[in-house]
C-alpha cells in the first residue's frame, strides 16, 4: 500500500489530498464505470478500458481499495468472479467527479473539441 501524504494548510492543501487519491492513469475511468454501473466485474472493467493492461487495472483497483474508495468481493465459484463496488466513503466522491466531468465538458467546448458530445454522463 502506498503511503499517502496528508496535506494541511501549511504544506500543500486538501485539494492535493483528493487529487492524490483519484489521480492515476485509469482511476478516473474506473470511477466513471463504477458510478454509472454501481457494480463491475473485473472482466467488464478490462473490456471497457481497452488500452489498460490487466496488470495495470489490478494495480489501480488495489490502490482504490487500499484507500477505502472501492470494495472488492471475490466469489469462490467456477469460474472465479471478482466484483467491485464503491464503498459508502467512495460514494462521497460522486459530486467531486461530477464537477470534474462538467468542467471537462466546458473545457472541451472552449477548446473546440467535440469529444464530449459522444460521452455519456453518469451524473444523475
First-to-last C-alpha distance (Å) of the chain? 33
Query: What single DSSP character describes residue 38?
Result: S
- One digit per residue, pLDDT tens: the chain, 124 residues? 566 665 555 566 888 888 889 998 899 999 999 998 888 889 999 999 989 999 999 999 999 999 999 999 998 888 888 999 999 999 999 999 999 889 988 888 888 766 545 566 665 5
pLDDT of residue 81: 87
Is 3 within the bounds of a domain? no
123 within a domain of the structure (yes/no): no
Domain around 60: 14-115
Does residue 73 belong to any structural domain of this protein? yes
The answer to whether 49 and 26 are in contact (CB under 8 A) is yes
At 116 the pLDDT is 46
Domains held by the chain: number? 1
Model pLDDT, residue 17: 83
- 43, part of any domain: yes
What CATH number did the domain enclosing 97 receive?
Answer: 1.10.10.10
Amino acid at each position: 500500500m502506498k503511503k499517502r501524504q496528508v496535506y494541511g494548510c501549511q504544506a500543500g492543501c486538501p485539494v492535493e489530498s483528493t487529487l492524490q487519491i483519484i489521480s492515476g492513469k485509469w482511476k478516473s475511468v474506473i470511477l466513471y464505470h463504477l458510478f454509472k454501473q454501481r457494480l463491475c466485474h473485473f472482466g467488464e472493467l478490462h473490456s471497457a478500458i481497452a488500452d489498460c493492461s490487466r496488470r495495470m487495472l489490478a494495480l489501480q483497483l488495489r490502490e482504490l481499495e487500499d484507500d477505502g474508495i472501492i470494495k472488492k468481493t471475490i466469489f469462490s465459484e467456477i469460474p472465479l468472479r471478482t466484483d467491485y463496488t464503491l464503498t459508502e466513503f467512495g460514494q462521497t466522491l460522486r459530486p467531486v467527479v461530477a464537477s470534474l466531468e462538467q468542467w471537462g465538458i466546458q473545457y472541451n467546448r472552449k477548446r473546440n473539441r467535440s469529444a464530449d458530445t459522444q460521452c455519456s454522463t453518469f451524473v444523475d
